[in-house]
Copies of this chain bind each other. A is one copy, B any other.
Amino acid sequence: MPAQTPIGLQLTRGAKEISAAFNDALAEAGGSLPVWVVLISLKTRRLGNQRELARAVGIRGATLTHHLNAMERDGLVTRRRAPDNRRIHLVELTEQGEALFHRLRAAAVAFDRRLRTGVSDEELATFASVLGRMHRNVSGVDRPAGPRPGGPE
């Protein structure tokens, strides 16, 4: 007899508000969720081109271009062509981009602390583990990537 909790809906709705709160925390520090993910990817990984960056961020190439345009306009990144293969655009953080990265990291850490209040390390580990399994359970490669909610949206 399986549990009857509608966990999909519960997760979707709960996470929507938690994500909104996370985004608010990042906005107060001058960023946003997609910008934060792009910055992390740029700092953390050695990425060859924008396609890899888009994949790491979990969005399409054209959508990444959209964000990079804004980030370049705001002086957070520079784009230049790679000398050896001029099709590739090298994306690099400016000093301002570095500074924003550190501010957003502090905001993210503070948000995490708030989020974890009253949650034991063991519970947190279980939570993360289950989340990961659920993610894999539904991350079929069969999804042809239509328009995404909002999102949600």
- What is A's interface to B at a CB cutoff of 8 Å? 2-3, 5-24, 27, 32-34, 36-37, 40, 58, 108, 111-119, 121, 123-135, 137-140, 143, 146, 148-153
Q: Are A127 and B7 in contact (CB under 8 A)?
A: yes
Q: Nearest Cβ distance between residue A84 and chain B, in whole angstroms? A: 33
Cα–Cα, bound, A131→B17 (Å) = 11
> A138 is contacted by which of B18, B134, B143 (Cβ under 8 Å)?
B18
Q: Can you list 30 A-B contacts with CB-CB less than 8 angstroms, sorted by A residue number?
A: A3-B124, A7-B115, A7-B128, A9-B108, A12-B19, A13-B37, A14-B135, A15-B131, A15-B152, A16-B19, A17-B139, A18-B138, A19-B149, A19-B153, A20-B153, A21-B140, A24-B143, A24-B146, A27-B146, A115-B134, A117-B133, A124-B130, A126-B126, A126-B127, A127-B127, A127-B131, A149-B152, A149-B153, A150-B150, A151-B153
